[in-house]
Structure 1
Amino acid sequence: MQKNILKSGIELSELGLGCMSLGTDVQQAQKIIETALEAGITYFDTADIYDKGVNEEIVGKILHQYQQREDIVIGTKVGNQLQPNGDMVWNPSKRYIKDNIKHSLRRLGLEQLDLYMLHGGTIEDPLDETISAFEELKQEGLVKAYGLSSIRPNVIRYYLENSQIEVLMSQFNLIDNRPEMLLNEVREHGVKLLARGPVFKGLLTKNYEQALAQKFAKGIFDYDAASLKDTVSALHDIEPELTALSFSYLRSFDVLGSIIVGASSVQQLQENVAQYNKEIDSININKARSIVKDLNYTQHLK
């Protein structure tokens, strides 16, 4: 599988496993992770809030069995603080970030984390304080690299210009192509993109009609329900394997670090791997791109 290299030298498999959907059954999760490894997936993405920390524990426990391998990369996220009453509050403070890394490392069974990401962010955050927390964690040897998970252009641009982030995670697919407006800036700063939501809640899969009815009945973004249905149907006419089409579209960008796919079953993961391995020619990718709307972020610009 293609590996894409970050500024720090970390190599990400171009298809990464988003671990949020693994569930809490360790045996089932192990089957999925082993299937991923067999397919060449070496990047595993989790977060401290997934199943209230249990996800990190499961991922850490399973991958610990493969600790002799040097190609496995684990990324997790911080910023959403769980309160005793079960509520979630946003906390991008240096104190919280530097304290929370200890808990994530313990749950993952690691002494050093490959990739630590801020799990959101607003322009009202203490941005320089947050950045300094990640920089100090690098200096202390607790993380190899850090990044940002966000769809807010003003936050993204601040981090690109004022930090040493190595990855930007954003929802990105043929329909939600808003990240395209930022790709030149991302490229200029040597940052790699982690594309989450590549199949857009099932809209870019063989089950697109079901997704249209159940999840997009009112449309989305600049699409009303009718225009969205017409557009996805037109994409299907170009290439019936919509997931392969979306993956190939993402792979056409040189800033891509990894396409993050979730999986709650071995079969689901195997299907995603098969779609990743099916390359669509550039003519059809360009055709597909020409019939979807050019979307731009309209909020959080300043």
Structure 2
Amino acid sequence: MKTIKLGSQGLEVPVQGLGCMGMTTIAGGNIYGKADEKESIATIHRALDLGINFLDTADLYGPLLNERLISKAIKGNRDKYTIATKFGFEIDDNEQLTWAFNGKPDYVRKAIERSLQNLGTDYIDLYYLHRLDPNTPVEETVGAMADLVKSGKVKYIGLSEVSANTIRKAHQVHPVTAIQTEYSLFEREPEENGILDVLNELGIGFVAYSPLGRGFITGEIKSPDDFEENDFRRSIPRYQGENFYKNLDLLKQIQTIAESKGLTPSQLALAWVLSNGIVAIPGTKRIKYIEENAAAAEVVLTSEEKAKLESIIPVGKTAGTRYDANGMQNVNV
């Protein structure tokens, strides 16, 4: 697996990481259907064999269960992995989500100690603020994160789902290594809201989560009814009713191009993200798909192929938003 410098602060990662969210529940609900711990751990081990040692998790996932699963998977091999985790969704002392955002300095210090313990490590490679706390200036949150770097508990810091303006303010307090945002052929907002421009200007890396459109681009979901009853994707407007079928028509055009190149739609979509110099962290909990995804890193797209893909789904053409109305209030802030 090829590697890339993520930002300008010294962190180097494979061009493709592994999103681990789907390996556990969130607050008792399945994210992308049921997961099996044994298979999930085997997938993490297979990812390492393939050179994919960049694992992405968060204390939200579970809550806390995902970090604990990763701890089991990396035990005895911590130094072989680059671990990214996130904080910001408040978790109380009973390990319950309050669903409030908390970026206060004292909570930052509390959250890191809990993540270190859950992950079975004494440092985090990349520590993200998961969502901006509207009641705490980002400068205060990042100041507390900077203290974690000074103490050696964190190597690099990042932010998730923030605006270009917030990125600028944070970067003035302490160099930001990476911004994580949803990005795929079906979600190209960072191209139009100034985020990509400011990242290039400031030398900050970009990590794309859900580069397969939360699994939609795989083509395995044929109708909204294919989602399991408590699957998170049932709540996303993009995958509901008429929107689902409008997007399915777009996907069929992508599938045609993929077939002409002897690729799966997922591999083509991943190759497109990677061709933009962006690190992708597709999520999976199965060995079959980590192997399929890894192969996408070897795919080379011509400028004509890229242009054709981008013409199928121009910026803003996707039907429906990527979160419900409440969730959309908390992104790009």
Provide Cα deviations, 1:223-244, integer angstroms capped at 9, x if missing partner: 9555433322222222233212
Alignment of 1:234 with 2:253, yes or no, is yes
2:224–2:244 CA contact under 8 A, matched in 1: no
Q: What secondary structure sits across from 2:18 in the alignment?
A: strand
Q: What secondary structure sits across from 1:169 in the alignment?
A: strand
Q: Which residue of 2 aligns with 1:244?
A: 267
Q: Which residue of 1 aligns with 2:21?
A: 20
Cα distance in 2 between the residues matched to 1:219 and 1:91: 28
1:46–1:75 CA contact under 8 A, matched in 2: yes
Q: Which residue of 2 aligns with 1:46?
A: 57
1:194–1:260 CA contact under 8 A, matched in 2: yes
Provide Cα deviations, 1:178-204, integer angstroms capped at 9, x if missing partner: 111321211111111110011112221
* Identity level (%): 26
Shift of 1:252: 1.9
Cα 1:93/1:177, change in 2 over 3 Å? same
Alignment of 1:202 with 2:230, yes or no, is no
**What one-letter code is carried by the residue in structure 1 that aligns with 2:153?**
L
1:123–1:154 CA contact under 8 A, matched in 2: no
Shift of 1:151: 4.9
Cα distance in 1 between the residues matched to 2:119 and 2:178: 21
Shift of 1:301: 7.1
1:8–1:144 CA contact under 8 A, matched in 2: no
Tell me, which stretches of 5 or more residues in structure 1 are unaligned? none
Alignment of 1:73 with 2:82, yes or no, is yes
Cα distance in 1 between the residues matched to 2:172 and 2:4: 22
Report the TM-score when normalising by structure 1: 0.86
Alignment of 1:191 with 2:211, yes or no, is no
1:145–1:166 CA contact under 8 A, matched in 2: yes
- Give runs of aligned pairs for residues 1-302 of structure 1, distance below 5 A: 1-6=1-6, 7-23=8-24, 26-67=37-78, 69=80, 72-83=81-92, 84=94, 86-122=97-133, 124-160=135-171, 162-181=173-192, 182-207=195-220, 209-210=222-223, 219=238, 224=243, 227-240=246-259, 241-254=264-277, 256=278, 258-295=279-316
2:224–2:239 CA contact under 8 A, matched in 1: no
Cα distance in 1 between the residues matched to 2:206 and 2:224: 26
Cα distance in 2 between the residues matched to 1:212 and 1:237: 24
Q: What secondary structure sits across from 2:62 in the alignment?
A: helix
**What one-letter code is carried by the residue in structure 2 that aligns with 1:9?**
G
Q: How much is the aligned-residue C-alpha RMSD, in angstroms? A: 2.9
Cα 1:21/1:226, change in 2 over 3 Å? closer
Cα distance in 2 between the residues matched to 1:265 and 1:219: 25
**What one-letter code is carried by the residue in structure 2 that aligns with 1:5?**
K
Tell me, which stretches of 5 or more residues in structure 2 are unaligned? 25-34, 228-232, 322-327
1:16–1:259 CA contact under 8 A, matched in 2: yes
2:88–2:103 CA contact under 8 A, matched in 1: yes
Q: What secondary structure sits across from 1:121 in the alignment?
A: coil
More deviation, 291-300/151-160: 291-300
How many correspondences in the alignment? 297
Report the TM-score when normalising by structure 2: 0.79
Provide Cα deviations, 1:36-91, integer angstroms capped at 9, x if missing partner: 0111101011111211212212212321221354xx20011111112346533211
Shift of 1:173: 0.2
Cα 1:66/1:225, change in 2 over 3 Å? closer
2:3–2:14 CA contact under 8 A, matched in 1: yes
2:47–2:53 CA contact under 8 A, matched in 1: yes
Q: What secondary structure sits across from 2:214 in the alignment?
A: coil
**What one-letter code is carried by the residue in structure 1 that aligns with 2:180?**
M
**What one-letter code is carried by the residue in structure 1 that aligns with 2:183?**
F
Cα 1:87/1:219, change in 2 over 3 Å? closer
